[in-house]
Amino acid sequence: MMLSKIKLENVLFLDIETVPQYQNFESVPENFQNLWEKKSEYFRTEEQNAGDVYARAGIYAEFGKIVCISVGLINFKNTNKYLRLKSFYGDDEKNLLEEFGEMLSKLAQKKDIILCAHNGKEFDYPYIARRCLINGLKLPNILDIAGKKPWEVRHLDTLELWKFGDYKNYTSLNLLVAVFDLPSPKDDIDGSQVGDIYWNENDIKRITKYCEKDVVAVVQLFLKYRIEDIISDENIESVTY
């Protein structure tokens, strides 16, 4: 897909926030403690035990859960671009996934939707798909890529676009935001703090606001890739609350 040929109104920008399924390692059922022991062998040091690195469980769909999915759609009024944000969040992961899926279905009836996220192909898209199956939910069609040809998969990834074929390169969203002189989404918290804020502070709205800031950053970065003006703050609206 050539970026210049993509209709901006058809791109659904998104970001997810994930946390470990349990507040601490001691709360994890014994069989999953054993499985986490095996999984964490690959990245913990000799001085660390499985409990010491349990905070990382949230990045794995088998050991974590989604607490927020934020999305953004661009629309035009005359020649001005506007961004509308919406978040699905809460303790009930199945419910937020169902609501997200319903939104995708409704959009797909009106538009030829394309998903866009930073590192979405490695993280957001497969994580959402896996958690849908774990919760016994049918995959949204746009995430059900089994058997599809590469050009039939309507997924964009601002990290992949930045690689230009250099598959050994990883560049964080925060670094790209700085490179393009965009406002940082990490002005309050960063991803490593989400689990603690969820389990110990019970502040899901703070996490949601952070998630929406990441969506805004992805949108603005995508526009920079297209050599277009970014969207001004006064033209960005959240309808979450």
Domain ranges within the chain, ordered by starting residue = 3-21+63-238
- Cα–Cα distances (Å) from 236 to 58, 86, 149, 158, 219, in that order, read 29, 11, 35, 20, 11
Q: What is the pTM assigned to this prediction?
A: 0.95
The fold of the 3-21+63-238 domain, in CATH, is: Nucleotidyltransferase; domain 5 (3.30.420)
Banded pLDDT at 55 (limits 50, 70, 90): very high
Q: Which amino acid is at 192?
A: S
Quick one: pLDDT band at residue 186, thresholds 50, 70, 90?
low
Cα–Cα distance for residue pair 184/216, rounded to 1 Å: 10
